[in-house]
Structure 1
Amino acid sequence: MPRTLPLAAALVFAAATAQAQSVEGASAGFGVSTFGLYGSAAYEVMPKLRLRGVLTGIPDFEFEGDKDDFGTDITADGSLGGIAALADYYPNGGGFRLSGGLFFSDSTLDGSGTGFEADDGMRYDDARIDASMRFEEDVAPMLAIGYVSGGARGWGFESEIGLIGIGGVNVTLDGTSGDSSVDAEFERDLQEMEDDANEMGEDLVVYPWLSLGVSYRF
């Protein structure tokens, strides 16, 4: 996990607890998001303004696929999610809020496969490919709008929609052909495949943030 994640968690916690003399004005929430499950904690620092930290995602996952489904054997592992440090502004003092802050990403995917077919039809049945994918920006700006139902205290429902400026997806490929007689062609085709993947990744400059859950205000 990047060092920024525990640092971000400490900053959010310190910002909230520095103002708090008791749990009055604090809230906690949990639910599902476009990263997986999430948990949040917030504190009202002044009327209409709350500081909120959100921990979301799937910490570790693994995936395996075979030739019948993918044309090659694939194994992959990674994590998806991170920590958001947000300021929530409630313009009308009700449930509607405008939020902005930073998202500290811990989203990675590493995988490997055997054999592939290049765009020109050349097949490398004995090749081994190692792939790595990362968000371009580990620390990304985040903007969102949301709504929290319920009163000043007690349970309520919450929903939110927004965007995280991840700056694109970076893809790195490496591998061996398994046949020294085609090494040169393999390197060219592998580089072309990496370039194509990064060209598509450059278009993914934002990641959608959607969440739905419940919260409790103390």
Structure 2
Amino acid sequence: MAVTARYTDGLDLDTDFDEDGVTYNADFEMKASSVKMDYFPFGGRFFLSAGIMMPDIEANVVGTPDNGSTYEFNNQEYPAAAIGSVVGTATVSDGTQPYVGLGWRSSHQSGLSFFSEFGVVATNVDVSLSTTNGFENSFPQLQQDIRAEEQSLKDDIDKLPVFPVAVLGVSYTF
């Protein structure tokens, strides 16, 4: 048995995805802390892991219409010239979440070693959108349609209730 703690930062990913005629550019920033118990069932290098993770997986998104001239939110069309861009955040996971995984260490003896681990952490999806021109503040229908777009994006992201975790690293065992 082993108790491990970890902090990971600086993992960034840029990607594009389409949703209902809007192309969103997402700039993901990923950080995570974890505390877990590792169990070596065969007394060797292979281990099973369970514990808690405090992930901070969030993306800043910017959406532009695929056709360049109109957005369609909740089956309503809006001119891109009036709205500008759609901007916001998409949080995949934030706060304390359960974690399970399996891994391998080059050694479980005292000293320096290498390890790899694969696991999953539960997600807690939230999406928040607005327009760069603040057009939705004057038009309640647009505000309602943007909330429907947020829910559609949330449903797409939330199709997988867990987020995969893959780690390669160096550890020191006391």
> After TM superposition, is the score higher than 0.5?
yes
Bigger proportion of residues as helix: 1
CA contact (8 A) 2:116 2:169 kept: yes
Q: Matches of 2:148 and 2:128 in 1, distance apart? A: 12
SS in 2 for 1:152: coil
SS in 1 for 2:152: helix
Letter in 2 for 1:97: F
Q: What is the match of residue 79 of structure 2?
A: 124
Q: Matches of 1:154 and 1:212 in 2, distance apart? A: 17
What TM-score comes out, normalization by structure 1 length?
0.59
Q: Matches of 2:136 and 2:123 in 1, distance apart? A: 36
Q: What is the match of residue 5 of structure 2?
A: 53
SS in 2 for 1:118: strand
* Partner of residue 142 from structure 2, selected from 157, 164, 186: 186
Unaligned stretches of 5+ residues in structure 2:
17-21
Aligned residue pair count: 159
Q: Matches of 1:101 and 1:196 in 2, distance apart? A: 31
Q: Matches of 1:57 and 1:77 in 2, distance apart? A: 15
Unaligned stretches of 5+ residues in structure 1:
1-48, 66-70
Q: What is the match of residue 106 of structure 1?
A: 56
* Counterparts in 2 of 1:139 and 1:216: CA distance versus 1, 3 Å: closer
* Counterparts in 2 of 1:96 and 1:192: CA distance versus 1, 3 Å: same
Q: CA deviation at 1:78?
A: 6.2
Identical pairs, percent: 25
* Partner of residue 157 from structure 2, selected from 191, 195, 201: 201
Q: Matches of 1:73 and 1:103 in 2, distance apart? A: 28
* Counterparts in 2 of 1:185 and 1:193: CA distance versus 1, 3 Å: same
Q: Matches of 2:166 and 2:3 in 1, distance apart? A: 19
CA contact (8 A) 1:90 1:98 kept: yes
Q: Matches of 2:13 and 2:106 in 1, distance apart? A: 37
Q: Matches of 2:24 and 2:113 in 1, distance apart? A: 46
Q: What is the match of residue 19 of structure 2?
A: none
Q: CA RMSD in A?
A: 3.4
Q: Matches of 2:24 and 2:118 in 1, distance apart? A: 37
Higher-Rg structure is 1
Q: What is the match of residue 123 of structure 2?
A: 166
Q: What is the match of residue 177 of structure 1?
A: 135
Q: Matches of 2:158 and 2:13 in 1, distance apart? A: 25
